[in-house]
Amino acid sequence: MFSFSVTATDKQTGARRGRLVTGHGAVETPTFMPVGTRGSVKGVLPSALRATGAEMILANTYHLFLRPGAEVVEQLGGLHEFMGWDGPILTDSGGFQVFSLSELNRINEDEVEFASHIDGAKVRLSPAIATAVQNKLGADIIMAFDECVKLPSTRERVRLAVDRTIRWAAQCLEAHKNEHQLMFGIVQGGTDRELREYCSEKLVELGFGGYAIGGLSVGESHDEMIETVGYTVPMLPADKPHYLMGVGTPRDLVAAIGAGIDMFDCVMPTRNGRNATAFTRQGKMKLRNEQYKLQKEPLDAECDCYTCKNFSRGYLRHLFQVGEMLGPMLLSLHNLHFYQWLMNEARLAIDENRYGSWSSRWLADD
């Protein structure tokens, strides 16, 4: 059911084009997955999301595990039916949220116990539970439960997380019972080359359907992140998808594609959209600024999204000034459209072996 093939490689950079086939359709890579945290990409209808060019989306195991619970999603037909998205879906493992959102009570060899960020209730999550929950949710691609450490951290702390991540990865593979789902392993190791190498080696020995680089965009600089991605990707099997988790800005994406990354997810286009910030071909725009009050032109004259075809900057600014919900919806839609446009341009550039020259203008941005 699953296959991944690299169809073109840029000669000057490490950028590559590929195609990932799942039981719910194929995905052209490099791809950007919009984030449907709690089973919804905030403020965007699935049909509109599809029209942006999005092929695969991400949902968060941690959030769905707490509410409504994996059993509820399962009884309502599984994640695809539940959220009205018949394309490919990926669920993360919950590891990132457990270690970033909640108050940890206890962590040991086999499980973590934490206080729910919603009501403080005690909840346990382990490699076996995270895998069983994802088996029930029913996404096409699922992730091994890992420990993600915030940076900067001591080497000892990162090392401890790497050891746990490796041990847990084996337990996840063993617990994985749904053959309609492909499981990816997550390489941890902060910005420490040796630890990344050690973690990659052990995960590759275990044998996953794809490999993610986790634990980045957690406090380090753009340059540190790209350097880490640059040396980690060659440690991973070339014939499997490479996924950089939770990243990032257009510049981050373009740089990481150049290092050989195939998949991304990030809340940035929707979160920024809700906060009145637009990504455009001319850079970021903060729509609340007075300067846009009387501007009749669209956000981005070259963009063919619904928002840009129908509304002025002045109108969009007005919606945010008075708190109309249409403002966040229209801006999220535009931003998602922009991210998909960027991925499409990147894919074309790789196909035509000009990724280096195409990417240079984006790499100069911040």
Given 175, 334, 355, 359, the residue binding Zn ion (CB under 5 A): 334
**133 three-state secondary structure:** helix
Q: Site for Zn ion (CB under 5 A): which residue of 66, 162, 303, 349?
A: 303
Among 266, 308, 316, 331, binds Zn ion (CB under 5 A): 308
146 is catalytic: no
Q: Which residue has tokens 């040396």? A: 231
Which CB, 233 or 308, lies closer to Zn ion? Answer: 308
**Helical pair 250-258 and 222-232, crossing angle rounded to 10 deg:** 30
Instruction: Tell which one of 98, 175, 225, 305 touches Zn ion (CB under 5 A).
Output: 305
CA dihedral 193, 240, 206, 94 (to 10 degrees): 80
304 classed as catalytic: no
**Angstrom distance (rounded) from CA 90 to CA 68:** 18
Beta-bridge partner residues of 141: 90, 182
User: According to the binding rule CB under 5 A, does residue 278 interact with Zn ion?
Assistant: no
| Sign of the four-CA dihedral 61, 270, 212, 9 | positive
Select from 48-56, 57-65, 76-84, 296-304 the region that touches Zn ion (CB under 5 A): 296-304
Closest approach, Cβ 308 to Zn ion, in A, equals 3
Helix (H) or strand (E) holding 162: helix 155-175
Q: Which residue's CB is nearer to Zn ion, number 19 or number 271?
A: 271
- Please pick, among 140, 252, 265, 300, the residue that the annotation labels catalytic: 265
User: Is the distance from CB of 196 to CB of 232 less than 8 angstroms?
Assistant: yes
- Contact region for Zn ion (CB under 5 A) — 115-123, 140-148, 239-247, 334-342? 334-342
- Smallest gap from residue 307 Cβ to Zn ion (A): 5
Q: Which residues pair with 286 in a beta bridge?
A: 277
If binding means CB under 5 A, how many residues of this protein chain bind Zn ion?
5
Q: Indicate the burial class of 257 (C-beta count within 10 angstroms; 0-12, 13-18, 19 or more).
A: buried
Nearer to Zn ion by Cβ, of 13 and 307: the residue is 307
Q: Which residues form the interface with Zn ion (CB under 5 A)?
A: 303, 305, 307-308, 334
